[in-house]
């Protein structure tokens, strides 16, 4: 007794047995009911999704002798002949081996005659994209005016290779990859009916491997059934098919992301020893990181991913503890490694190096989070008692500058004017950001920084303003400190910098909005901050800097300064990428 492979045994014989192609099935059945079936049909889709199967069912339905509406009946002579492959009026042609013009000429000769037994002659050409241009041209004429007794059905995996002239004469049906859940249920049913107990994990691995194709999945099941008899266990799938259970990827990713590189390499070693193809493994691992990234970034990852619920839950769990940046870093380094693996005699080593590199790069914290952390640090240091705060260097101001000594509208503080009288030549202003009392007359005078209830002078209170900002948005105060000069004109508060790069970050609308609020709250005036560059026209105008000046400015960038301060480093060199401005 010959063994019938599962793919043939389970080939659908009726529309309602076709899985995963409901829209196409419905359209075909409606066309049959209304007798509006096109004389040229084209089924496209990846391998093993049911293109020729649907064409055959359609052929049966067209020639079915049953009076019932639900055709094919699978009982009449015509149906049975097609099922067992002896129908004289059904011609199945393999486009790959009959691709020349001669074969098409013979076919055209053949269809001139009426069908021998059935209502229609039906021509199915599989892999039709393999036909030569001449063959397509020869076919074209027939497709323009097909004889009433002939139906053409084409199947292809490569729709784009079909000439547009042919496409435009066909009714097209695009078949989809079959969804994981649907395929999984189908394979489960097949296993049950075949009397084989397949473990849940094994079934999941086979379904994943089938990648949307019924035929691929069924041939994997075939292999497993002939190996395992009436039972298929998890390890059988790994041993026979060389496939890896998804939990290996989960464990590997989790150990790498938690910084346990040793465990990660150990897992890789175990996989390698099990005889798994390392290039394939790397690709599957890459795919796993894609899954985790999608879980991280999409609110509905299940719509984008074709995986089991169990896998989805695990991926979500891993995604929850990581930043998208970190996950992308792993994805990127792995992708790079895979590229190098293609040409290397030692793919395992390259994969190991990629994983080490990724693990060493560590966790990436998004810049916005970093800025917030800096702010928190500064805020905390400000809330410490004054004695613990390192005093800032006093700023010495020459008294012969008229704007600075005419304190008529400072803060109305009597202490200040009292001290001023006692002061001889110089006056010292400390930009300390907290309210202090003057305990002894001397060269050091601190002003009150509490927001005043009335208007303040921009130039005189600038340092206080910077301190005020520092309490609220520390990074912004660093930028303000770079400002060379401030001027007040009408309703504008003009801030003059020496380089446009110094205020670049302030120039973003969100930051500008915040700055405006601080300015108006502090100075109690309807002022609008304006950013200018010294000697330049406007904030948006690019001043004509030489490259070296620009580099110097980059080194002075407040973000860079802050970073060097926080990490205790220094700027060693400045490298610029392609111009982005």
How many angstroms separate the CA atoms of 319 and 306, rounded? 17
Question: What's the closest the beta carbon of residue 77 comes to Zn ion, in angstroms?
Answer: 8
- Region of 568 please: left (phi>0), alpha (psi -120 to 50) or beta: left
Longest dimension (CA), the chain: 124
Question: What's the closest the beta carbon of residue 68 comes to Zn ion, in angstroms?
Answer: 9
How many angstroms separate the CA atoms of 336 and 292, rounded? 18
- Residue 76 or 310: the one with the smaller Cβ distance to Zn ion is 76
Question: What's the closest the beta carbon of residue 321 comes to Zn ion, in angstroms?
Answer: 59
349 touches Zn ion (CB under 5 A):
no
Backbone torsions φ then ψ of 144, nearest 5 degrees: -65, -40
* Window of 56-64, 179-187, 214-222, 375-383 that interacts with Zn ion by CB under 5 A: 56-64
Binding mask 281-320 for Zn ion (x = CB under 5 A): ----------------------------------------
- Residue 79 or 124: the one with the smaller Cβ distance to Zn ion is 79
Q: What angle do CA 13, 78, 218 make, to 5 degrees?
A: 20
- Residue 82 or 153: the one with the smaller Cβ distance to Zn ion is 82
- Residue 18 or 238: the one with the smaller Cβ distance to Zn ion is 18
Question: What's the closest the beta carbon of residue 26 comes to Zn ion, in angstroms?
Answer: 20
CA 124, 129, 135, 137 torsion-angle sign:
positive
Residue count, binding to Zn ion (CB under 5 A):
6
Looking up tokens 């079934």 gives: 203
- Residue 118 or 207: the one with the smaller Cβ distance to Zn ion is 118
Which residues, 59 to 98, sit near Zn ion by CB under 5 A?
64, 66, 72-73, 76, 79
- Residue 59 or 267: the one with the smaller Cβ distance to Zn ion is 59
- Residue 31 or 370: the one with the smaller Cβ distance to Zn ion is 31
Q: Around 490, how many Cα atoms within 13 Å sit in the side-chain half-sphere?
A: 1
- Residue 81 or 127: the one with the smaller Cβ distance to Zn ion is 81
- Residue 78 or 142: the one with the smaller Cβ distance to Zn ion is 78
Backbone torsions φ then ψ of 125, nearest 5 degrees: -110, 115
- Residue 117 or 517: the one with the smaller Cβ distance to Zn ion is 117
Cβ neighbours, 10 Å, residue 578: 4
| CA distances from residue 44 to 18, 37, 127, 445, 560 in whole angstroms, order as listed | 15, 17, 9, 84, 56
- Residue 81 or 502: the one with the smaller Cβ distance to Zn ion is 81
How many angstroms separate the CA atoms of 430 and 394, rounded? 5
- Residue 74 or 520: the one with the smaller Cβ distance to Zn ion is 74
Question: What's the closest the beta carbon of residue 146 comes to Zn ion, in angstroms?
Answer: 23
DSSP 497: E
Looking up tokens 């990234």 gives: 293
Q: Around 65, how many Cα atoms within 13 Å sit in the side-chain half-sphere?
A: 10
How many angstroms separate the CA atoms of 47 and 219, rounded? 13
- Of 446, 447, 520, whose CA–CA distance to 488 is shortest? 520
Question: What's the closest the beta carbon of residue 60 comes to Zn ion, in angstroms?
Answer: 6
| CA distances from residue 345 to 285, 348, 352, 354 in whole angstroms, order as listed | 20, 9, 14, 16
Question: What's the closest the beta carbon of residue 57 comes to Zn ion, in angstroms?
Answer: 11
How many angstroms separate the CA atoms of 384 and 373, rounded? 17
Question: What's the closest the beta carbon of residue 78 comes to Zn ion, in angstroms?
Answer: 6
Cβ neighbours, 10 Å, residue 575: 6
Question: What's the closest the beta carbon of residue 64 comes to Zn ion, in angstroms?
Answer: 3
Question: What's the closest the beta carbon of residue 281 comes to Zn ion, in angstroms?
Answer: 49
Question: What's the closest the beta carbon of residue 85 comes to Zn ion, in angstroms?
Answer: 16
Question: What's the closest the beta carbon of residue 59 comes to Zn ion, in angstroms?
Answer: 11
- Residue 79 or 206: the one with the smaller Cβ distance to Zn ion is 79
Enumerate residues 6+ apart whose C-beta is below 8 A from 478: 558, 561, 562
- Residue 61 or 218: the one with the smaller Cβ distance to Zn ion is 61
Question: What's the closest the beta carbon of residue 274 comes to Zn ion, in angstroms?
Answer: 51
Question: What's the closest the beta carbon of residue 50 comes to Zn ion, in angstroms?
Answer: 20
- Residue 83 or 219: the one with the smaller Cβ distance to Zn ion is 83
Question: What's the closest the beta carbon of residue 79 comes to Zn ion, in angstroms?
Answer: 3
Beta partners for residue 492, in sequence order = 489, 528
How many angstroms separate the CA atoms of 388 and 391, rounded? 9
**Helix residue ranges per DSSP H, 362-422:** 367-382, 402-405, 414-422
- Say if residues 203 and 187 touch (Cβ distance below 8 Å): yes
Tell me the DSSP string of 67-134.
-SSS---S-SHHHHHHHTT--TTEEEEETTTS-SHHHHHHHHHHHTSPPSSSS-EEEEEETGGGS-HH
| CA distances from residue 262 to 117, 257, 274, 276 in whole angstroms, order as listed | 72, 12, 19, 20
| CA distances from residue 446 to 404, 408, 414, 441 in whole angstroms, order as listed | 15, 17, 13, 11
| Interacting residues with Zn ion (CB under 5 A) | 64, 66, 72-73, 76, 79
């Amino acid at each position: 007794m010959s063994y019938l492979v599962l793919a043939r045994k389970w080939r659908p014989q009726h529309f309602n047995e076709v899985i995963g192609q409901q829209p196409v099935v419905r359209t075909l059945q409606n066309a049959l009911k209304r007798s509006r079936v096109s004389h040229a049909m084209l089924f496209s889709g990846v391998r093993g999704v049911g293109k020729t199967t649907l064409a055959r069912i359609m052929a049966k339905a067209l020639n079915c002798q049953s009076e019932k509406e639900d055709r094919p009946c699978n009982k009449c002579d015509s149906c049975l002949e097609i099922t067992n492959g002896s129908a004289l009026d059904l011609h199945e042609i393999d486009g790959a081996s009959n691709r020349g013009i001669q074969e098409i000429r013979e076919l055209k000769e053949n269809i001139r005659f009426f069908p021998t037994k059935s209502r229609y002659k039906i021509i199915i050409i599989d892999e039709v994209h393999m036909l030569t241009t001449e063959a397509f041209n020869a076919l074209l004429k027939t497709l323009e005016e097909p004889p009433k007794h002939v139906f053409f059905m084409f199947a292809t995996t490569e729709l784009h290779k079909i000439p547009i002239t042919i496409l435009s004469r066909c009714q097209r049906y695009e078949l989809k990859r079959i969804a994981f859940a649907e395929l999984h249920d189908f394979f489960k049913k097949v296993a049950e009916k075949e009397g084989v107990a397949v473990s849940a994990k094994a079934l999941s691995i086979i379904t994943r491997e089938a990648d949307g194709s019924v035929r691929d999945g069924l041939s994997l099941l075939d292999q497993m059934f002939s190996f395992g008899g009436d039972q298929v266990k998890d390890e059988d799938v790994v041993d026979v098919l060389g496939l890896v259970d998804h939990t290996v990827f989960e464990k590997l990713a989790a150990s790498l992301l938690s910084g346990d590189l040793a465990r990660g390499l150990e897992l890789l070693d175990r996989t390698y020893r099990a005889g798994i193809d390392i290039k394939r493994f790397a690709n599957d691992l890459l795919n796993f990181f894609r899954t985790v990234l999608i879980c991280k970034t999409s609110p509905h990852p299940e719509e984008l991913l074709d995986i089991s619920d169990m896998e989805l839950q695990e991926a979500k769990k891993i995604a929850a503890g990581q930043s998208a940046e970190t996950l992308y870093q792993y994805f990127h380094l792995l992708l790079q490694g895979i590229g190098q693996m293609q040409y290397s005699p030692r793919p395992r080593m390259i994969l190991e190096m990629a994983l080490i590199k990724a693990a060493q790069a560590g966790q990436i914290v998004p810049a916005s989070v970093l800025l917030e952390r800096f702010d928190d640090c500064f805020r905390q240091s400000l809330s410490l008692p004054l004695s613990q705060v390192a005093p800032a260097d006093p700023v010495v101001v020459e008294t012969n500058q008229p704007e600075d000594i005419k304190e008529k509208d400072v803060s109305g503080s009597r202490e200040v004017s009292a001290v001023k009288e006692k002061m001889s030549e110089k006056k010292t202003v400390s930009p300390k950001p907290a309210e202090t009392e003057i305990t002894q007359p001397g060269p050091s005078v601190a002003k009150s920084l509490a927001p005043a209830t009335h208007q303040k002078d921009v130039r005189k209170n600038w340092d206080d303003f910077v301190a005020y900002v520092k309490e609220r948005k520390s990074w912004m105060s660093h930028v303000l400190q770079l400002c060379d000069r401030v001027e007040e004109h009408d309703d504008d508060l003009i801030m003059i910098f020496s380089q446009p790069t110094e205020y670049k970050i302030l120039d973003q609308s969100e930051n500008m909005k915040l700055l405006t609020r601080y300015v108006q709250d502090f100075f109690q005036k309807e002022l609008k901050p304006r950013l200018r560059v010294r000697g330049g026209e406007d904030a948006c105008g690019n001043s004509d800097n030489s490259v070296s000046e620009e580099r110097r400015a980059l080194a002075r960038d407040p973000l860079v300064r802050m970073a060097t301060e926080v990490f205790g480093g220094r700027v060693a060199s400045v490298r610029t990428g392609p111009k982005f401005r």
